[in-house]
Structure 1
């Protein structure tokens, strides 16, 4: 359990704690368009959010502290490296007199897992600080800090289904049906940097043709069914799946386990891995699939829920 704050300050706040959920982000598709000359990768991804989340509390005060609890707290690493702490510090540098406080992070999502756990935590911290300080969520300083904290933080700030492009800064809202799902992580971290290195793009190299870049994918509109969405998603892919599997072959085992369940319509890796997901026709099938995988692989992290 790690804490950090200003030396010599021990101010007890009587304010009520503010609470935010940091929902897991799932990349339903992920196309790597190319690598910029500055080294960043241009992406196009259909992003949904799951009903599993870390939980972040903030008791407003004059100092900044962070305490981690929960089943996966030991995986969080040094407090000073936590994105919650980083986001709060960066916002404090931009907003004079920013009211900070004591954060408590209940960590239940696996780390380095391709579901934006740390990014979702940072985004939740920014939402909490915005509430504590009367800042709008579209405040330019808040958006600036989100981008600087991490590529997935802007999309997690709004936590709504969208098409995410660029390096994560351009978001086009989507209307997704509630899709029953099972998410599985083998409890083996896969660093994003390693996966992009395994992809092997040179600076300035395009992975797709110019025509592909110009033509935008037409995704199903408002009111589309799960079947329509699965059909559209199946025609796309995750370009990071193959390089991630070369780094951690267990990802292939996770996908096989999901595909071996009854009723899995589409199984795919999220983000840079190693978390994979499957979409099901209904919640009963998703629950049965989840139970089957938990029995066969008790060491894996498994969640049955809904994407939307």
Structure 2
């Protein structure tokens, strides 16, 4: 049995630049990952199969179009082998939450099956294979802080490593589909991400459109700001999950305790 973590993806900043002729948007983002996430297990099997468990498994699709199975078939086809593996995914990441759950799971499948099938391909090769699976899957293959451009697949080094930073993830238990949020963007290019600018001077350009769809996101952001100890409060991805960064675990845990009666989903963790 091989075990592979699927860390949740967060966006410390997300700047939308323009809508492309292919329907995607050019964007710039600072991607980071948390110690919290899903867990994929795999072993030899007849054919390629997937079972699910965990607190968010009921909201996930286990059919043939599941990204884990698509990733496995893509890797087998590229390697010229028959895809034989029995996979089990423990789902903890909320679905349609701006945390890249499906992308993280697909990337974990590529890493796990790369080991199970003895391919020993480098992450760069897996990331190239991941691009057709979704814009966030390549960065999830690396699962470390990177700067992303293009659709998010043009990845490069980010000079400020936030690893170890305590973070509180808060989701008001609503799902937000990415497509409608992109459609609601006001199409205004407000400029690029600059590594010389502090995180607090950057943005998530999807926030306003997400709040129109789910106004409770504004309540989450306000509650995190009112706590007073966060160094950064921001929505992640297309929402509805919001994040707050803290100087130490104590400050993060006090913030979580203050929201304990909110009814929202809370996850105190740290950036990896």
TM over 0.5: yes
Q: Distance in 2 between matches of 1:63 and 1:200?
A: 46
Query: Which stretches in structure 1 are left out of the alignment for 5+ residues?
Result: 1-16, 202-206, 220-230
Shift in Å, 1:186: 1.2
Q: Distance in 2 between matches of 1:272 and 1:98?
A: 36
Q: What's 2:49 paired with?
A: 65
Larger Rg: 1
Moved more, 40-49 or 177-186: 177-186
Q: Is the 8 A contact 2:48 2:83 kept in 1?
A: no
Shift in Å, 1:259: 1.3
Mapping for residues 1-308 of structure 1, pairs under 5 Å: 17-133=1-117, 134-138=119-123, 140=125, 142-174=126-158, 175-177=160-162, 178-199=164-185, 201=187, 207-208=188-189, 212=191, 217-219=194-196, 232-295=198-261, 297-298=262-263, 300-308=264-272
Q: Distance in 1 between matches of 2:140 and 2:2?
A: 18
Q: Is the 8 A contact 1:182 1:279 kept in 2?
A: yes
* Number of equivalenced pairs: 269
Query: Which stretches in structure 2 are left out of the alignment for 5+ residues?
Result: none
Q: Is the 8 A contact 2:97 2:239 kept in 1?
A: yes
Q: Distance in 2 between matches of 1:261 and 1:138?
A: 39
User: What is the SS of the residue equivalent to 2:64?
Assistant: helix
CA RMSD of aligned residues (A): 1.7
Q: Is the 8 A contact 2:4 2:41 kept in 1?
A: yes
User: What is the SS of the residue equivalent to 1:243?
Assistant: helix
Question: Please, what TM-score do these two structures have when normalized by structure 1?
Answer: 0.83
Q: Is the 8 A contact 1:41 1:167 kept in 2?
A: yes
Question: Please, what TM-score do these two structures have when normalized by structure 2?
Answer: 0.93
Q: Distance in 1 between matches of 2:121 and 2:69?
A: 20
Q: Distance in 1 between matches of 2:216 and 2:61?
A: 23
Q: What's 1:14 paired with?
A: none
Q: Distance in 2 between matches of 1:185 and 1:38?
A: 31
Q: Is the 8 A contact 1:44 1:165 kept in 2?
A: yes
Shift in Å, 1:104: 0.4
